[in-house]
Homo-oligomer: A and B are copies of this chain.
Amino acid sequence: MALPHTILAALNTGAQSGYDLLKGFSSGSGCFWQATQQQIYRELSKLEEQGLVVPEVVPQDGRPDKKLYSITSEGQALLREWIAQPSKPTPIREELMVKVLAAHLVDPQIVIDELQRRQQQHQEQLEAYQALWECVGCANLSDLSMPLQCKCMTLRRGIRYEQSWVDWCEESIVWLRAV
């Protein structure tokens, strides 16, 4: 799985604590991996054991000490190797689709309500991504630094993904209403 690599990739742009990583994951902005507190701390310990990251304890006043983790050259090497290997499309596990598949068992209105709820969620995420995209506001990525260009590509993926959901929900609601 890619959790260790995701953490290494996040640390690659600067040292972070477990807490920082958690916030980065949950705020999401263009991130295509997420993890809970427990997974992150567990994984950081493992990465430290393997020498792929090194911690630095930073005393803070008024707050608990924090452990700032940095990626090591071994960590970077591992990340580079991993990127070069081909990866398969993620298998899809979409609850909503299973429900739609068996939707004929229940009142169509129940499914319509659910689809409207989902459409709104995806619409909101779409708008958040679009806002970020407009912040960058440039026609050709070449004007940006490479790391920022990479970030933008994931942002474009997010926009397309959310848009495809919004459109599908719209279409499906219309169809279900006609039943």
State how many angstroms separate the Cβ of A63 from the closest Cβ of chain B.
Answer: 29
Contact A33 B110, beta carbon cutoff 8 Å:
no
Number of copies: 2
- Name the distance in Å between A52's Cβ and chain B's nearest Cβ: 14
Query: B156–A94 contact, CB under 8 A?
Result: no
Contact A9 B90 (CB under 8 A): no
Min Cβ gap A171→B in Å is: 6
Residue from B80, B91, B106 in contact with A80 in the complex, judged by beta carbons closer than 8 Å: B106
The A interface, classified by DSSP as helix, strand, loop or mixed, is helix
| Set of chain B residues within 8 Å of A110, measured between Cβ atoms | 83-84
We find that the number of chain A residues with CB closer than 8 angstroms to chain B is 70
Which A114-150 residues have C-beta < 8 A from chain B?
A: 114, 117-118, 121-122, 140-142, 146-147, 149-150
A residues at B contact (CB < 8 Å): 1-2, 5-6, 8-9, 12, 30-34, 76, 79-80, 82-84, 86-106, 110-111, 114, 117-118, 121-122, 140-142, 146-147, 149-151, 153-154, 156-157, 160-161, 163-165, 167-168, 171-172, 175, 178-179
